[in-house]
Structure 1
Amino acid sequence: MKYKSNNNVVYSCKYHVVFCPKYRRPVLVDGLDERFKQIAQQVADGLHFEIIEMEVMPDHVHMLLEVDPQLGIHKAVKRIKGRTSHDLREEFPWLMKRLPTLWTNSYLVSTVGGAPLAIVKQYIENQKGV
């Protein structure tokens, strides 16, 4: 197991995160999915956390994140959802007509814990085939 560190903490905190557009509408298509990935990576780089794996489906997003415990998973998800909502609704005006807000308020977060990282990555990669 590899550990990361900042000035105060040595950690290995990996989370599986899933969230959906409002009303689970299948709007993450036609280039919007690729742009989502770019914006999410910019957020991760800015806040210094790692996106290990990411799969964007038309009606939901799966992510495997490694987040500094001092930042917290809540702040990481909140920033991803906030920034992507703002930028995507600005770049794709048709979203404004389809949805009052891009994302639901809720999301699933699960610690990876003892599960082998390769298994979780494989699960997320295989979501496209389901």
Structure 2
Amino acid sequence: MNDHLVLVIKYRRKVINQAQMFQNIGEKYNTTLLEWNHDYDHVHALFKAHSKTGLSKFINAYKSASSRIIKKEFPPVRKQLWKVNFGSRSFCLITTGSAPIHVVKQYIENQGKK
């Protein structure tokens, strides 16, 4: 089964591409990134996870690690944050179920296009 994850950047700030980071962290949680794209202030990821993967643990690990790395690699980001968190505490995770995978991929590919 495939999952579609939507993450919003805190304060609706500009997204920094984190696809490789998502893929690297996902390997430790038996997930495979299928598609990644973003609009100005939110990220879409389509991935496949093993049935025994703790998705909330994986997502929280990704959000925590990516926040740390982004703040280290892009110091000006720290000045734009009121608190230490880079991403919003919430997220939207949708199991694609019986939706054709090519339709979901196309939707994600079109993110950021006007």
What is the TM-score when the length of structure 1 is the normalising length?
0.80
1:16 and 2:8 aligned: no
C-alpha distance in structure 1 between counterparts of 2:13 and 2:75, whole Å: 16
1:106 and 2:105 aligned: no
C-alpha distance in structure 2 between counterparts of 1:61 and 1:71, whole Å: 21
C-alpha distance in structure 2 between counterparts of 1:14 and 1:45, whole Å: 15
Q: 1:25 aligns with which of 4, 8, 13?
A: 13
Greater relative contact order structure (CA < 8 Å, 6+ sep): 2
**How do 1:19-98 residues align onto structure 2 when only pairs under 5 Å count?**
19-26=7-14, 28=15, 32-33=16-17, 36-98=18-80
C-alpha distance in structure 2 between counterparts of 1:76 and 1:54, whole Å: 16
Give the match's secondary structure for 2:68: helix
C-alpha distance in structure 1 between counterparts of 2:93 and 2:31, whole Å: 16
How far does residue 107 in structure 1 lie from its aligned partner after superposition?
0.5
| Matched AA of 1:94 | P
| Aligned partners of 2:4 and 2:96 also within 8 Å | yes
How far does residue 23 in structure 1 lie from its aligned partner after superposition?
1.5
Which of the pair is proportionally richer in strand?
A: 2
Work out which of the two has the higher radius of gyration on C-alpha atoms and give 1 or 2. Answer: 1
Give 4+ residue runs of structure 1 displaced > 6 Å after superposition.
Answer: none
What is the TM-score when the length of structure 2 is the normalising length?
0.90
Could you tell me which runs of 5 or more consecutive residues in structure 1 were left unpaired when the two chains were aligned.
1-12
C-alpha distance in structure 2 between counterparts of 1:15 and 1:63, whole Å: 8
2:108 corresponding residue in structure 1: 124
Could you tell me which runs of 5 or more consecutive residues in structure 2 were left unpaired when the two chains were aligned.
none
C-alpha distance in structure 1 between counterparts of 2:55 and 2:101, whole Å: 18
Percent identity over the alignment?
32
C-alpha distance in structure 1 between counterparts of 2:40 and 2:65, whole Å: 19
